[in-house]
Amino acid sequence: MSRSRGTRFEGDSPEAEPHAVTRRSVLSNALALTAMTLAPAGLSRAVHAQGASGGLAAAVQQAQRGTKAGTYLVLLGTRAGPAIDLARGQTGSAVVVDGQPYLVDCGYGTVRQLVASNVGYLQVNTLFFTHLHDDHTGDVPALLSYQWSNGKTTPTDAYGPYGTTRLVAACVAVIHSNVEIRTVDEGRIVDADAQFHGHDVSAADTPVAVFKDDRIDVTAVENTHYPPRSKAHMPHRSLALRIDTKDRSIVFAGDTAYSANVARLARGADVFVCEIGDATTLALMDERSKAEAAAGNPNNIFRHVAETHSSPADVARMASEADVKMVVLNHQLAGPAPGSLAYPVTAFIQGVRRGYSGEVVVGQDLMVL
Ligand SMILES: [Zn+2]
Ligand SMILES: [Zn+2]
């Protein structure tokens, strides 16, 4: 698909000036930024970068000043949780369609990244959750609270698996004191209870319609992030989401191991956003899981990571089966040393390209695609 139209993201600062920019030029800047670390042959089409940089910030700034038409993916946070580090934000992305942002996941730091990207947080009317782990929901109370405090008057609706309605209601309860104080002290009139709504979406093996408006069409399937042994004891489910617009299709795999459902949902998509952990890190997690099990704790977090997340081979298998045009890696797992801030970017690229011949982009916070 040929895409050369730019976009303009109107954030909370009104001074952004129209300035044409193409997605290609954004990618070019990102490539230039990372070219020095792209030594292995055959990787010339892959994009990767680590850490914040002035070069990338400049590319994002250019994108923000483009025209509004078209569909753009803005990566807000690209690290796997629940850990927090200063190199990458927890998972969150914005799909901006003709200037209107839709948020997909809202991990810790997402509100700051909405400001940094100039997408803005007051403009978010609709958000989607792939699942309700805290590295995908941590910033929801902040998002809703600052929308209310900073003058948003229109509704905000969140769609996600079982528990989403309860989560949004709980977030409103968290901000209730703030609402009461400002309502009395500042003459506010917006009712937070009536402004924010959560909607539970059913999980299924075949795509289910989740949301539709005049810009996007969203469908979902259940992925494999929660194993049967856990699902037998809880109503929670984990989703992959597909957003179709008039000019683009973007699929978010969510947190998942290999999933035939996800491959089906992603069939022919322009962009396949998928989590990743490199094989060495996942093998290390498997070893630690076995040690924990031997010590009497079989359902430990290391087992969770090793069994319910995607290796590069898993990503490649889903991307290849779905025949997607581009893979974008997010929810990246740091490693291999526990607590390390090193992201094994080269291993990500090489691992995925072993089983998938399309374009591979290793996402970075604030990257625009
Ligand atoms: Zn996660
Ligand atoms: Zn998760």
Q: pLDDT of 216-235, one tens digit each?
A: 999 999 999 999 999 999 99
Among 238, 253, 286, 222, which Cα is nearest to 363's? Answer: 253
Return d(Cα 316, Cα 223) in angstroms, integer: 16
Which pLDDT band holds residue 68 (cuts at 50, 70, 90)? low
Determine, yes or no, domain membership for 10.
no
Which pLDDT band holds residue 265 (cuts at 50, 70, 90)? very high
Cα 91 to ligand 2 centroid, rounded to whole Å: 10
Assigned token pair, 256:
């998942």
User: How many other C-beta atoms can be found within 10 angstroms of the C-beta atom of residue 328?
Assistant: 24
Determine, yes or no, domain membership for 53.
no
Does residue 105 carry a pLDDT above 80?
yes
Q: How many domains does the chain have?
A: 1
Determine, yes or no, domain membership for 15.
no
Mean residue pLDDT of the chain comes to: 84
Cα 70 to ligand 1 centroid, rounded to whole Å: 28
Q: Give the SS3 label for residue 318.
A: helix
311 neighbors 344 (Cβ within 8 angstroms): no
Cα 93 to ligand 1 centroid, rounded to whole Å: 13
Return d(Cα 76, Cα 66) in angstroms, integer: 18
Q: Which ligand is nearest to the CA of 80?
A: 1
Determine, yes or no, domain membership for 367.
no
Does residue 185 carry a pLDDT above 50?
yes
Does residue 12 carry a pLDDT above 60?
no
Q: Which residues surround ligand 1, an ion (CB under 5 A)?
A: 81, 133, 135, 255
Determine, yes or no, domain membership for 13.
no
pLDDT at 3: 39
Determine, yes or no, domain membership for 7.
no
Return d(Cα 139, Cα 108) in angstroms, integer: 5
Summarize the confidence of residues 105-129 as an average pLDDT: 97
pLDDT at 67: 45
Instruction: Give strand ranges (E) for the chain.
Output: 71-77, 92-97, 100-106, 126-128, 156-160, 196-200, 208-212, 217-222, 239-244, 249-252, 271-276, 326-332, 359-362
Determine, yes or no, domain membership for 332.
yes
pLDDT at 338: 65
Q: Which ligand is nearest to the CA of 131?
A: 2
Summarize the confidence of residues 33-45 as an average pLDDT: 28
pLDDT at 54: 42
Determine, yes or no, domain membership for 3.
no
CATH of the domain at 336: 3.60.15.10
pLDDT at 170: 98
User: How many other C-beta atoms can be found within 10 angstroms of the C-beta atom of residue 128?
Assistant: 28
pLDDT in tens, 119-156: 999 999 999 999 999 999 999 999 999 999 999 999 99
Q: Which ligand is nearest to the CA of 78?
A: 1
Structural domain harbouring 114: 23-46+69-362
pLDDT at 73: 97
Distance of CA 333 to the CA centre of its chain: 14
**Is-cis flag, bond preceding 40, omega within 30?**
no
Q: Give the SS3 label for residue 147.
A: helix
Assigned token pair, 110:
């997402």
pLDDT in tens, 317-351: 999 999 999 999 999 998 877 677 788 899 999 99
Cα 339 to ligand 1 centroid, rounded to whole Å: 16
pLDDT at 107: 98
